[in-house]
């Protein structure tokens, strides 16, 4: 009789343990459980310990942490008809587990496909120079568009970063020549502006000297003093202005 009772309780114990395993679930802090009762959505539970009705209720676990999605390299033709290869990375997370599970079959794949098409669409509206120089603005535009379109899926796109913009070697050489030409143009402009400013200063000095003849005489004396201080062995003939001696004598008097 004891043997029969012992053989009866062992399956019962296993059955109870199985029901407990099926009924009790433990969710981490970053996890949520979307609960379905007989196939119908009945709520979101977690984190911590949750109790289910075995065989009647099922759950789908969701992770609320930020997901890093690497967007594959896309072939993009810019507005100025330049072919480039662009890849990016998208940072997003689930903010509404119910929508993420019910409204889309695979939210990660759906977000990836949407990011690829959006990347080609947005960058195709800009020229190559804008892709290279205004990357921050393009990142903001991509993030805003993706966040708006994934809102119905309960997903928040936090950031989008364009990683690389690869162009052909021929285009790289053309850009280098363009940059070199731009540098030469700026150098010529700066040189011309310097010449213009120097000419203006010389004209101003000439007007001052013309208004005060004695200033010209002092300039001659200053130049002679500089030449004498250089101790140059060569002979220098410097024109002596007529009337300079009379002007000096008049000043002494």
* pLDDT per residue as tens, the chain (253 positions): 454 455 666 777 777 777 778 789 999 999 999 999 999 999 999 899 999 988 899 999 999 999 999 999 999 988 888 889 999 999 999 999 999 999 999 999 999 999 999 999 999 898 888 888 889 999 999 999 999 999 999 999 999 999 988 887 766 666 667 777 877 888 888 888 888 888 888 777 777 767 766 666 666 666 666 666 665 555 655 555 555 555 555 555 4
Question: What CA–CA distance (Å, rounded) separates 1 from 4?
Answer: 5
CATH code assigned to 67-167:
3.30.479.30
Q: Are 124 and 78 in contact (CB under 8 A)?
A: yes
Give the orientation angle of helix 244-252 with respect to helix 213-229, to 10 degrees.
100
Question: What CA–CA distance (Å, rounded) separates 71 from 48?
Answer: 34
Q: What is the DSSP string of 85-104?
A: EEEEEEEEEES-HHHHHHT-
Q: Are 150 and 111 in contact (CB under 8 A)?
A: yes
Q: Which residue has the tokens 């024109």?
A: 239
Structure tokens at 116: 């690829």
Count CB neighbours of 12 within 10 A. 9
Q: What is the pLDDT of residue 110?
A: 95
Q: Are 43 and 102 in contact (CB under 8 A)?
A: no
- For the chain, give the number of residues: 253
Please tell me whether the peptide bond between 148 and the residue prior to it is cis, using omega within 30 degrees of 0.
no
Q: What is the pLDDT of residue 1?
A: 47
Residue 113, C-beta contacts closer than 8 angstroms, at least 6 positions apart:
none
Spatial strand order of the sheet with 57-63 comes to 40-45, 31-37, 57-63
Q: Are 157 and 150 in contact (CB under 8 A)?
A: yes
Q: What is the pLDDT of residue 153?
A: 95
CA distances for 27 relative to 16, 31, 93, 238, angstroms: 22, 6, 18, 100
Q: What is the pLDDT of residue 245?
A: 55
Could you state, in order of their start, the residue ranges of all structural domains in the chain? 2-63, 67-167, 171-211, 215-253
């Amino acid at each position: 009789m004891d043997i029969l009772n012992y053989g009866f309780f062992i399956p019962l114990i296993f059955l109870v343990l199985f029901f407990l395993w099926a009924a009790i679930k433990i969710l981490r802090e970053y996890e949520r459980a979307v609960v379905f009762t007989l196939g119908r959505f009945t709520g979101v539970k977690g984190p911590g310990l949750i109790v289910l009705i075995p065989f009647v209720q099922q759950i789908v676990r969701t992770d609320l942490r930020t997901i890093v999605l690497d967007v594959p390299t896309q072939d993009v033709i810019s507005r100025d008809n330049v072919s480039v290869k662009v890849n990016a990375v998208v940072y997003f997370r689930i903010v509404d587990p119910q929508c993420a599970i019910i409204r889309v079959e695979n939210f990660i794949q759906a977000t990836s496909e949407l990011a690829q098409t959006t990347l080609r669409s947005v960058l195709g509206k800009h020229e190559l120079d804008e892709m290279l120089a205004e990357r921050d603005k393009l990142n903001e535009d991509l993030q805003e568009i993706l966040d708006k379109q994934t809102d119905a899926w309960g997903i928040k796109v936090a950031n989008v970063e364009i990683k690389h913009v690869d162009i052909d070697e021929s285009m790289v050489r053309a850009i280098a020549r363009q940059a070199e030409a731009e540098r030469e143009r700026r150098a010529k402009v700066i040189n011309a502006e310097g010449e213009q400013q120097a000419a203006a200063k010389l004209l101003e000095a000439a007007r001052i000297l013309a208004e005060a003849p004695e200033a010209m005489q002092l300039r001659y004396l200053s130049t002679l003093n500089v030449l004498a201080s250089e101790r140059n062995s060569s002979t220098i003939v410097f024109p002596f202005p007529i009337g300079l001696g009379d002007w000096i004598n008049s000043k002494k008097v």
